[in-house]
Homo-oligomer: A and B are copies of this chain.
Amino acid sequence: MSSVAGSFKLMKSLNRTLVLNSIRINGAIPRSEIAKETKLTAATVTNIVNELISEELVLETKPGISSGGRKPILLTINSKSRYVFGIDVGVNKIRFAIADLEAKIVVKETEKIFHPLNNEDFLELLTSKLQIMFKNFGEKKSKIVGIGIAMHGIVDNKNGVALLAPTLKLKNIPIKTVLEKEFGIPVRIENDAKTLALGEEWYGHGQSVKDLVCLNIGEGIGAGIILNHKLFHGNDNSAGEIGHTIIDINGPKCSCGNYGCFQSLASGHALKESALREISLGRTTLLREKCHDKLENIDGLLIYQCALKGDSLSVELLQKTGRYIGIGIVNIIHFLNPPLIIIGGGVSRAKEFILPSIYEVIDAKSITPNNTQVVVSKLGEDGSLIGAFTLVLSELFNSINSSLS
A132 located at the interface, meaning its Cβ lies under 8 Å from any Cβ of chain B in the complex: no
In contact, B235 and A372 (Cβ under 8 angstroms): yes
Tell me which residues across on chain B come within 8 A of A400, comparing CB atoms.
3
In contact, A245 and B334 (Cβ under 8 angstroms): yes
How far does the alpha carbon of A10 sit from the alpha carbon of B249 in the complex, in Å?
Answer: 50
Tell me which residues across on chain B come within 8 A of A320, comparing CB atoms.
none
In the complex where A246-B247, A250-B250 touch, is A336 in contact with B239 (Cβ < 8 A)? Answer: yes
Tell me which residues across on chain B come within 8 A of A335, comparing CB atoms.
223, 239-242, 245, 332, 335
A39 located at the interface, meaning its Cβ lies under 8 Å from any Cβ of chain B in the complex: yes
Map CB proximity to B onto A213-252 as digits: 1 under 8 Å, 0 otherwise.
0000000000101011100111111111111111111110
Cβ-defined partner of A236 (8 Å) among B4, B227, B248, B369:
B369
From residue A22, how far is it (CB to closest CB) to chain B in Å? 8
Tell me which residues across on chain B come within 8 A of A233, comparing CB atoms.
337
Tell me which residues across on chain B come within 8 A of A338, comparing CB atoms.
234-235
How many chain-A residues does the 8 Å CB contact rule pick out?
73
A380 located at the interface, meaning its Cβ lies under 8 Å from any Cβ of chain B in the complex: no
How far does the alpha carbon of A271 sit from the alpha carbon of B337 in the complex, in Å?
Answer: 27
In the complex where A5-B14, A18-B3, A40-B5 touch, is A249 in contact with B246 (Cβ < 8 A)? Answer: no
Cβ-defined partner of A336 (8 Å) among B154, B234, B398:
B234
Interface of A (DSSP majority class): loop
In the complex where A234-B336, A234-B337, A238-B370 touch, is A248 in contact with B245 (Cβ < 8 A)? Answer: no
Cβ-defined partner of A245 (8 Å) among B210, B257, B331:
B331
Map CB proximity to B onto A283-316 as digits: 1 under 8 Å, 0 otherwise.
0000000000000000000000000000000000
In contact, B327 and A249 (Cβ under 8 angstroms): yes
A256 located at the interface, meaning its Cβ lies under 8 Å from any Cβ of chain B in the complex: yes
By CB atoms of chain B within 10 A, which of A154, A335, A339 has the most? A335
From residue A330, how far is it (CB to closest CB) to chain B in Å? 7
Q: Which residue of B lies closest to A330 (CB)?
A: B246
Cβ-defined partner of A1 (8 Å) among B18, B336, B371:
B18
From residue A51, how far is it (CB to closest CB) to chain B in Å? 14
How far does the alpha carbon of A332 sit from the alpha carbon of B235 in the complex, in Å?
Answer: 12
Query: For chain A residues 7-60, which have a beta carbon within 8 Å of chain B?
Result: 7-8, 10-15, 17-18, 21-22, 25, 38-40
A367 located at the interface, meaning its Cβ lies under 8 Å from any Cβ of chain B in the complex: yes
In the complex where A236-B371, A368-B236 touch, is A3 in contact with B398 (Cβ < 8 A)? Answer: yes
Tell me which residues across on chain B come within 8 A of A248, comparing CB atoms.
247-250, 260
Q: Which residue of B lies closest to A373 (CB)?
A: B235
Tell me which residues across on chain B come within 8 A of A245, comparing CB atoms.
330-331, 334-335
A258 located at the interface, meaning its Cβ lies under 8 Å from any Cβ of chain B in the complex: yes
From residue A13, how far is it (CB to closest CB) to chain B in Å? 7
Cβ-defined partner of A249 (8 Å) among B225, B251, B398:
B251
In contact, A232 and B1 (Cβ under 8 angstroms): no
In contact, B228 and A2 (Cβ under 8 angstroms): yes
Closest 10 CB pairs of A and B: A234-B337, A6-B11, A6-B14, A235-B339, A239-B337, A238-B368, A245-B331, A2-B229, A1-B21, A241-B334
Please give 9 more A-B residue pairs, beta carbons under 8 A apart, in addition to A11-B11, A249-B251.
A3-B17, A3-B398, A8-B11, A211-B235, A235-B372, A241-B335, A241-B368, A247-B248, A249-B327
A-B contact pairs, 26 of them (CB 8 A): A1-B21, A1-B25, A1-B229, A3-B21, A3-B398, A5-B18, A10-B11, A233-B337, A234-B336, A234-B339, A235-B337, A235-B338, A235-B370, A235-B371, A236-B372, A238-B337, A238-B368, A242-B335, A243-B334, A244-B334, A246-B331, A248-B248, A248-B250, A257-B367, A258-B367, A335-B335
